[in-house]
Amino acid sequence: MELRERVNEALKAAMRSKEAERLSTLRLINAAIKDRDIAARTGEEGAAGGVSDDEVLAILGKMVKQRQESARAYEEGGRLDLAAREQAEIEVISEFLPRQLDAEETEAAVDQAIAETGADSIRDMGRVMAALKARHAGQMDFGKVGPMVKDRLAG
C-alpha cells in the first residue's frame, strides 16, 4: 500500500476511534503532503498524481526532526507537558517511517557505500552520501552519518 494511502487509512481509523491527538498529528502529515503536492504541480494535469513515496518519506523525516528539536527546547525550558506532546507526535509520524538502522547497521552501510563507490578521500564524500541516501532514505539520520563518513574517508 502506498504511504499516502496508509496515512489516510490511519486518519479514518483515528476519526472512528475518536483519538484526538493522533487525529491531529495525522492531519498535520496530510497537510504537509498536500503542501508539497501543490508546490510540485506544474500546471499540467499529469502532475496531479502527487509526490512520490520517497518525497513523502523525506517530509516525514523532516517532521520528526523538527519535533525532536522542539521537544529538546521545551525540556530545556522546563515545559515537560509540551515536550511530551511533541514526543507523542513523533511516535505517530514514526509509524510511517521505515525501521531505523542501529549503530552497527549504520556503520556497515557506510562501509558498504564507501566500498561500492570506490571512495578513498574526502573529495568522494558526496558520492558516498548520495549512495547512502539512495539506498537508506528514511532509515538513518544523515546529519549524524555525515561526520562518520568524513572520519572514515579522512583516516
Average pLDDT, integer, range 46-61: 76
pLDDT-derived band at 1 (thresholds 50, 70, 90) equals low
CB 2: neighbour CB atoms within 10 A? 11
Give the tens place of pLDDT for each residue, 66-114: 999 999 999 999 999 999 999 999 999 989 988 888 888 888 999 899 8
Of these ranges, 85-94, 118-127, 128-137, the one predicted with the greatest mean pLDDT is 85-94
Torsion of CA 13, 16, 22, 101, to 10 degrees: -20
pLDDT-derived band at 49 (thresholds 50, 70, 90) equals low
The fraction of the chain above a pLDDT of 90, given in percent, is 37
Is the confidence at residue 46, as pLDDT, over 50?
Answer: no
* Cα distance between residue 101 and residue 112, in whole Å: 14
pTM of the full predicted structure?
Answer: 0.71
Least Cα distance to 5 among 43, 40, 49, 39 occurs for 49
* Cα distance between residue 4 and residue 86, in whole Å: 22
* Cα distance between residue 94 and residue 62, in whole Å: 11
Is the confidence at residue 40, as pLDDT, over 90?
Answer: no
Average pLDDT, the chain: 87
Domains, the chain, ordered by start = 3-94 (1.10.1510.10), 103-154 (1.10.10.410)
Average pLDDT, integer, range 27-52: 77
Hey, is 12 helix, strand or coil?
Answer: helix
Exposure on the CB side of residue 40, measured as CA atoms within 13 A: 15
